Structure 1
Amino acid sequence: MTAYLSPDQILQLRDAALESGLTDPGVRPLLFDGIMPRYRGTLPMLAAPMHQLHSDLAQMNQVERLVDGSVPLEIWLRNAVAQTTEAEPLKVFQRALDEVARRAGGEPDILADRPAPEIKEQIVHRDDTVPIGFLRGGDLAGTAVARLKVPPYQDGAPLQPNGFPHAGTGWLIAPALLMTNHHVVNARTGAGAERPLAAPEDLRLQARHTRARFGYDSESGYLDDTDDSAAEEVEVAELVAADPDLDYAVLRLSAPPDRPVLKLARRPLEVADGEYVAVNIIQHPGGQSKRVALRNNLVYETDEHDVRYFTDTRGGSSGSPVLTDDWRVVALHRGTRRVEDVLFQGRTTAFVNVGTQMTSVLRHLETHAPDVHAEITAAQGDGRG
């Protein structure tokens, strides 16, 4: 594979780590927390701390992903961000993390050239309470969300030697139909123009070998992947619709699980300047058990095709439903973008998340896959908001 970062970027990370004290040998275990121990044991050990850190970064930069689907450099960078308080090194780590996460997830680089104006209004002294039914509705909505593992194929055979599964999130839009991102099913590493597309037959093979795990929950947020006590794994029969530009894919399940369908918003989400709108995301970050980003996830801006918002997501969250407080899906989460001079609750933020308006997805389905659109419309019934 092509390295995630250039040699100059690796040197910038090395210098930032030196400036923030991360070259200390005692910090190394913290930076490798969450990376498979078997992989850590393969890394060369050097006497000089600076050389050790540079070697670690260079080695991880060449590894697309491990057998569990994780990306070691991405995990290392997240740990570096968590361990850094100095502003300038933190910016270096955050920029590198964004680049690696986008390339590892194969996210299309749609918003890279869009300017992001500064937000002038701030939310202060406003009642943010919701009815207790909000929690019950969220718990029910969560049962329709599944963790996905997609194995890459090339020329009709499992991709080797880098054929480890890509993680993502999907959700029931009809009893036997699962919605997710195209780039999740595409299962390729890279961003923007560098993101390769699987051949049509390989894409269909990847879809048919996708594993959807419902009920993959844990109070602590971590659950052993082999623990089947609460989870239900469902096979995928076929890919029935997809579009790389809108970044959606619809998978037909081999058998409909006994779970509710998430209801869709009828109208696109529109947010006026200064308006307070919260959205919620149920997700499987990093391929781990289910987590939820609630309420503090404020919408930044919207247009006809996109919803942009502030939340905590990471690789594996792609394909998650973006829901309003009545638990209706307004957008399909697809990725994260770095921004400059954007304020969130009085502080500058480095990232804004983006999802595709579900109304845009439905319009595309109505034109290009009318049978699938009709199946979704029938499943939604008269209860759409």
Structure 2
Amino acid sequence: MTGYLSPDEVRRVLDAAVETGLADPAVRPLLFDGIMPRYRGTLPLHPAPGRQVHSDLNEMNRVERLVDGSVPLEIWLRNAVAETTEAGPLTVLQRALDEVARAAGGEPDVPGGLPLPGEIKEEIIHRDDTVPIGFLRGGALAGAAVARIKVPPYEGGAPLQPNGFPHSGTGWLIAPDLLITNHHVVNARAGTGAGRPMAGPEDLRLQARRSTARFDFDADADDTETVEAAVAELVAADPALDYAVLRLADRPGRPALKLAERPLTVTGDSYVAVNIIQHPGGRSKRVALRNNLVYQADEHDVRYFTDTRGGSSGSPVCTDDWKVVALHRGTRRVENVLFQGRTTAFVNVGTQMRSVLRHLEATIPGVHAEIQQAQATP
């Protein structure tokens, strides 16, 4: 690995950090909050504040991930964004964070060139956005089917060396013992774009069998009671649609999420809110509720504005009745798009679940029938 950021990108982050005061030695502990202390202790120390930040960035840029699966540069950038209020440096730091989070998660690049609206009409912002109280109960039930996944990378049948630490993602029950996530989550390789590294077929299956799914991971506290589920096998996968279906060794004893009966569609004058249950950064479960307008959908993809991070890959994209319409797979950053007063917004992309089901029906009809039977069960 040559680094998450190019030397020029590192220099831009350094300049932004110096400009906004993050080079102050008193701020350094805040920037390293959440990074393993043992790793922090290995970083060289320098008397000059600017040189210290540059050294820290270069050292972290060379580390794919630590033994706990975390990416130190991603955590540092997230902390830097939280400490920054000035627009110019904030844009630089946020863009770097997006790039590192996407590469660390192995998310493939989402094709660009999308026809984006120049603005969101006022009536969309000021519509009646209330929902029935049952919306909250439904969300709690749906969340029980969502798990944090850890996938260890292998190469040639052995743990990948160096930096063979686990990759994190999100998955959810599509049947009592079938968990669905992204192909790139199970692939467990850092990098983006068409040339991103790919695990061989045998290594991919081995990585799946060595994966674990952690249900009920709803808080970061050490005493949080969770359910760990081992994976028995990889039963289906497709890198183009970016999905993978894993069979768990034992049923975790909770209802599977229900799928929407038809693909999501939107028109130019109507927008749909979606809700995403996720494990960003491999941490405890979070939910992005309703402030996630879908602005475009076609036969294969749903595109929406929301908040996700590396580790959110594989999350269910749900409508207000908590039925899944898409499998979240990646993020594209766009410029000069107004969304609720912001001039820059994220475009997230999920694969329509109808496309996944059609692919399963054509390639692995037995798995498709199993899912359909589970979906028909009340």
**TM surpasses 0.5:** yes
Aligned to 1:124: 125
CA contact (8 A) 2:110 2:349 kept: no
Aligned to 1:33: 33
Written as runs of structure 1 = structure 2, the 5 A alignment for 1:106-125 is 106-122=106-122, 123-125=124-126
Matching residue's letter, 1:85: T
RMSD (CA atoms): 1.4
Deviation at 1:117, TM superposition (A): 3.8
Aligned to 1:194: 195
Deviation at 1:382, TM superposition (A): 6.8
Deviation at 1:290, TM superposition (A): 1.1
Gaps of 5+ in 2: none
Matching residue's letter, 2:221: L
Distance 1:113 1:79 in 2: 31
Q: How many residue pairs are counted as aligned between the two chains? A: 377
Deviation at 1:55, TM superposition (A): 0.3
CA contact (8 A) 1:149 1:211 kept: yes
Aligned to 2:282: 287
Q: Deviations over 1:92-145 (max 9, x none)?
A: 112211111111000111224445342341323322111111111111111111
Matching residue's letter, 2:72: P
Aligned to 1:174: 175
Higher mean C-alpha displacement, 303-312 vs 240-249: 303-312
TM-score with structure 2 setting the length: 0.96
Distance 1:16 1:178 in 2: 41
Deviation at 1:308, TM superposition (A): 1.4
Aligned to 2:206: 205
Aligned to 1:306: 301
Aligned to 1:4: 4
Would you say 1:242 and 2:243 are equivalent positions? no
Residue 337 of structure 2 aligns to a residue in which SS? strand
Q: Which of the residues 303, 321, 332 maps onto 2:327?
A: 332
Distance 2:112 2:10 in 1: 22
Q: Which of the residues 350, 364, 376 maps onto 2:371?
A: 376
Distance 1:113 1:64 in 2: 30
Written as runs of structure 1 = structure 2, the 5 A alignment for 1:269-280 is 269-280=264-275
Higher mean C-alpha displacement, 88-97 vs 112-121: 112-121
Distance 1:9 1:194 in 2: 20
Aligned to 1:152: 153
Would you say 1:102 and 2:97 are equivalent positions? no
Matching residue's letter, 1:159: L
Deviation at 1:173, TM superposition (A): 0.3
Q: Which of the residues 349, 352, 362 maps onto 1:354?
A: 349
Deviation at 1:258, TM superposition (A): 0.8
Deviation at 1:170, TM superposition (A): 0.6
Gaps of 5+ in 1: none
TM-score with structure 1 setting the length: 0.95
Q: Deviations over 1:142-195 (max 9, x none)?
A: 111111100000000111221110001110001111000000000000001231
Counterparts in 2 of 1:239 and 1:351: CA distance versus 1, 3 Å: same
Calculate percent identity across the aligned residue pairs: 76
Moved over 4 A (4+): none
